Structure 1
Amino acid sequence: MNVLEAMKRLDDMPENYKTMSINEMEERVRAIKERFGKRLFIPGHHYQKDEVIQFADATGDSLQLAQMAAQNSEAEYIVFCGVHFMAETADILTGDYQKVILPDMRAGCSMADMADIAQVERAWPILQELFAGTILPLTYVNSTAAIKAFVGRHGGATVTSSNAKNMVEWAFKQKERIFFLPDQHLGRNTAYQLGVALDEMAVWDPHTDRLEYKGDIKKVKVILWKGHCSVHENFTVRHIERIRQTKPDMKIIVHPECSWEVVQQADYVGSTKYIIETIQNAPAGSKWAIGTEMNLVSRIIREHPDKEIVSLNPYMCPCFTMNRIDLPHLLWALESLERGIMVNQIAVPPLIEQDASQALARMLALA
């Protein structure tokens, strides 16, 4: 079976949803939301399409939305408009009586998929032998529940793009070295911000099971997993140079999932929340080039007509996997739910949930 055939098998949505008019779908979703009332909660990630985000009961980043779902004790059903790892986190944090549904199971995350648990389990003993038990694992919340569980079992914690600096500082108080999964760019940018030199960072390649490093490995303080965000890696130094040449008075703000080279040349760097709030608080007439996902950038542009805002990469496309969640899939999930059928329920196995909860709890305790 090829990849396309496998993806089709994951999508069981009936054909009639693909031919329904937008107006009819919107009316049906509104009606279902009204009938369910507080029993239904729809979190929508910032990167979602407008056709979906209009029905979100809350918008935010992945962890924020999962926490909102957990705090919403009246909600029996969480229809998470995001990607798979986000729905997993929501299932971990919510009560047993709450059911989490992902409208389209094909909505994954390329970054999260770059760290497979089998690869991590294979890497760990090799790294332990190289560094004699001096490593603490940290994982970005943009990772699978299995990776979070691995980190939890080994005394580590999760991090977000907002608190990565605090969590890396915490980790260095526990151990001499950290093993950062799965986004090498967030790990590198955060460690560098804290004074760790580039020549004190190594990269673990899960495909060759080898440490990429030249020099005395005793100098290594940070081991970075060789993973990245497919969206944010598409912002380059050349894009920054173009803005500097054509619009020298324009400020550049980027997400820390961008490469180290891009982050070093940007004017501002921060999480999705930081980017949104920075633009909101900027004076009218200010000019901005934003290095993050295109659905969000387009929404920011519409919400701030008093400012000149562009994407740092003029050819940037929205996040492909995030865009799997669309209006037809949302309606299908809701109508199925109303018929007593839970399509695409996300249920993390108890043992994985237990260990992953530890990793999340260690982070939340320091929040």
Structure 2
Amino acid sequence: MTNIVTSVEIDAPFPRPPVELTSEEKSKHKNAIKRLLEEHNAVLIAHYYTDPDIQSLAEETGGFVGDSLEMAKFGAQHEATTLIIAGVKFMGETAKILSPEKRILMPTLEATCSLDLGCPIEEFSKFCDQHPDREVVVYANTSAAVKARADWVVTSSIAVDVLEHLAEQDKKIIWGPDKHLGRYIQQKTGADMLLWQGACIVHDEFKTKALEQTKALHPDAAVLVHPESPQSVVELADFVGSTSQIIKAANDLPQQKLIVATDKGIFYKMQQKVPGKELIIAPTAGEGATCRSCAHCPWMKMNALQVLSEVFEGDDKEIFVDEALAEKALIPLEKMVNFAKTIQSEVKSNI
């Protein structure tokens, strides 16, 4: 059974895109950042959805590129005393919760997420209190406060496994905040779920009719879709999965053309894995389209080289999480990490 929860309207202005840099300016900023990382015993950790310049710089300097959970785990295990998180604010908070002894900096703390904005703790907590018989499972794309209210935190790569585990125990679920991912999980697991009505502005804009037209133009292409996309888009997919799963599928699938319905920042890593394949971004235009994001998160785009080079300037770049709140949020995060380790162990034992 799936029930729908009233959504919270988001009325937040989109950030301005960063100023385009010349090749010379990019090189200057990169050299400055490399020097600063060494001077401050810092490591750069970037999300798949940041711009290629940021991802390549992370790799060049011994940092990391991955999804939100992989980013936090890498930071916790790295010897650096300062972590530079290139992504959106909830990722910096997660890194701080898992590495409280480390200094967590971000190019800008204004980089947020529509899922986070659409799930304010006051409204979400009030709803949870109305259904005390349900386990609260929240997506990683949420604030530290929402995580602290949850029984479980999940990423898209592990969400189906966790909810299947809970469904087998006849647990009733409150899910937040992404409605599309929640619906996808419910269909895969049969779990009894109440869905908070949040959505990612990037994935919510992929258009069914336009995607059908793109498939008609490229009948030999495989369609890869992130489950944060609308159900009608998911139904057109040859593969549905998280960012890391999509990258793996790009390599595993035999098709030489791939139509990809997720943030186009992922193309940097995908092209590394499958340099000989043609990557086509799924369309966000079509009837009723607003194309506010045009397949690239405007907040992720704020992680530009020029602001990254200023990350050690001023006192408005550091992530802080209230200690008591962090302790509460750590509990569901550790449950997810431990559950993931169990799954990995089971996979290895079956090989």
TM exceeding 0.5 = yes
SS in 2 for 1:333: coil
Q: Give the letter for the 1:227 counterpart.
A: G
Match of 2:85 among 80, 84, 104: 80
**Which region of structure 1 is more displaced relative to structure 2, 49-58 or 134-143?**
49-58
Distance 1:92 1:3 in 2: 26
Structure 1: runs of 5+ lacking an equivalent: 9-14, 197-220
**Which region of structure 1 is more displaced relative to structure 2, 80-89 or 175-184?**
175-184
Distance 1:350 1:303 in 2: 40
Match of 2:37 among 33, 36, 39: 33
Q: Quick one: structure 1 residues 180 and 314, their matched pair in 2 at CA, closer, same or farther if it must change by over 3 Å?
A: closer
Distance 1:295 1:366 in 2: 28
Structure 1 equivalent of residue 288 of structure 2: none
SS in 1 for 2:57: coil
Structure 1 equivalent of residue 46 of structure 2: 44
Asked if 2 retains the 8 angstrom alpha-carbon contact of 1:51 and 1:327, the reply is yes
Q: Give the letter for the 1:51 counterpart.
A: D
Distance 1:47 1:310 in 2: 16
Cα drift, residue 308 of structure 1: 2.1
Structure 1 equivalent of residue 158 of structure 2: 163
Q: Give the letter for the 2:96 counterpart.
A: D
Distance 2:114 2:162 in 1: 23
Structure 1 equivalent of residue 347 of structure 2: none
Answering whether residue 267 of structure 2 is matched by residue 263 of structure 1, we say: no
SS in 1 for 2:229: coil
Structure 1 equivalent of residue 307 of structure 2: 329
Structure 2: runs of 5+ lacking an equivalent: 1-10, 286-293, 341-351
Answering whether residue 74 of structure 2 is matched by residue 104 of structure 1, we say: no
Cα drift, residue 297 of structure 1: 2.8
Distance 1:44 1:78 in 2: 10
Distance 1:348 1:24 in 2: 33
Distance 1:298 1:329 in 2: 21
Structure 1 equivalent of residue 263 of structure 2: 293
Match of 1:59 among 59, 65, 69: 65
Q: Quick one: structure 1 residues 79 and 342, their matched pair in 2 at CA, closer, same or farther if it must change by over 3 Å?
A: farther
Give the 5 Å matches for 1:209-220. none
Q: Quick one: structure 1 residues 326 and 253, their matched pair in 2 at CA, closer, same or farther if it must change by over 3 Å?
A: same
Q: Quick one: structure 1 residues 61 and 3, their matched pair in 2 at CA, closer, same or farther if it must change by over 3 Å?
A: closer
Match of 1:253 among 192, 216, 224: 224
Give the 5 Å matches for 1:1-367. 21-36=25-40, 39-56=41-58, 57-72=63-78, 74-96=79-101, 98-126=102-130, 128=131, 133-151=132-150, 156-174=151-169, 176-195=171-190, 221-283=192-254, 286-297=256-267, 300-301=270-271, 304-313=274-283, 316-334=294-312, 336=313, 342-367=315-340
Distance 2:226 2:87 in 1: 18
SS in 2 for 1:300: helix
SS in 2 for 1:42: strand
How far does the alpha carbon of each residue in 1:314-347 deviate from its partner, in whole angstroms, 9 at most, with x for none?
653411011111111110014x2xxxx5542111
SS in 1 for 2:227: coil
Q: Give the letter for the 1:178 counterpart.
A: I
Cα drift, residue 238 of structure 1: 1.1
Asked if 2 retains the 8 angstrom alpha-carbon contact of 1:136 and 1:175, the reply is no
Q: Quick one: structure 1 residues 48 and 264, their matched pair in 2 at CA, closer, same or farther if it must change by over 3 Å?
A: same
Asked if 1 retains the 8 angstrom alpha-carbon contact of 2:206 and 2:284, the reply is no
Cα drift, residue 281 of structure 1: 3.2
Q: Quick one: structure 1 residues 7 and 321, their matched pair in 2 at CA, closer, same or farther if it must change by over 3 Å?
A: closer
Asked if 2 retains the 8 angstrom alpha-carbon contact of 1:240 and 1:266, the reply is no
Q: Quick one: structure 1 residues 255 and 3, their matched pair in 2 at CA, closer, same or farther if it must change by over 3 Å?
A: closer
Cα drift, residue 41 of structure 1: 1.3
Q: Give the letter for the 1:138 counterpart.
A: V
Distance 1:7 1:59 in 2: 23
TM, length-normalised to structure 2 = 0.83
Cα drift, residue 146 of structure 1: 0.4
Q: Give the letter for the 1:116 counterpart.
A: P
Cα drift, residue 235 of structure 1: 1.2
The number of residue pairs the alignment matches comes to 314
Q: Give the letter for the 1:234 counterpart.
A: E
Sequence identity percentage: 28
TM, length-normalised to structure 1 = 0.79
Cα drift, residue 293 of structure 1: 0.2
SS in 2 for 1:107: coil
Asked if 1 retains the 8 angstrom alpha-carbon contact of 2:262 and 2:295, the reply is no
SS in 2 for 1:265: coil
When Rg is computed on C-alpha atoms for both structures, the one with the higher figure is: 1
**Which region of structure 1 is more displaced relative to structure 2, 260-269 or 75-84?**
260-269
